[in-house]
Amino acid sequence: MAETMTVKEAAKRWGITERRVTVLCAEGRIEGVHKKGRSWRIPVDAKKPADSRVKTGAYRKSEIQLDLPFLKRRMKILLFISETKRFGPAVKNIGTIRGNTR
């Protein structure tokens, strides 16, 4: 069997946190990794995967596309629901409160 290292050893070797190594293992981004019991076993010759997280704060336009008409409709619905819950049955009888009984 090939030699393996623990998450703690990999984190120290690669200069990243143990949590990050665990996430990389769970995502399958480390070649040859396998789980033994509750711990991950990483091959000694495994290379640190490239960091694919966005660091500049700039997001690609294709990733985030807002449907503004949908969001506006959704906001109106949520506002109506919150007002109905807050005022309860009084909203239904608003005409009788003002004196309009027709």
pLDDT beyond 70 at 99: no
| Overall domain count for the chain | 2
Q: Is 62 among the domain residues?
A: no
Q: Is 11 among the domain residues?
A: yes
Q: Is 86 among the domain residues?
A: yes
Give the mean model confidence (pLDDT) for residues 87-96: 56
Q: Is 51 among the domain residues?
A: no
Collect all residues with Cβ–Cβ distance below 8 Å to 91 and sequence separation of at least 6: 83, 84
Band (pLDDT 50/70/90 cuts) for residue 44 is very high
**Host domain of residue 13:** 4-43
The pLDDT value recorded for residue 82 is 73
The pLDDT value recorded for residue 94 is 55
Dig out the tokens for 10 from the structure.
Answer: 């990999």
pTM (predicted TM-score): 0.52
Q: Check residues 17 and 51 and name the one with the higher pLDDT.
A: 17
The pLDDT value recorded for residue 29 is 92
Q: Is 88 among the domain residues?
A: yes
Q: Check residues 87 and 73 and name the one with the higher pLDDT.
A: 73
C-alpha 29/C-alpha 11 separation (Å) is: 14
Q: Is 30 among the domain residues?
A: yes
Q: Is 49 among the domain residues?
A: no
Q: Is 73 among the domain residues?
A: yes
Q: For residues 49 and 30, is the Cβ–Cβ distance under 8 A?
A: yes
Give the mean model confidence (pLDDT) for residues 56-82: 70
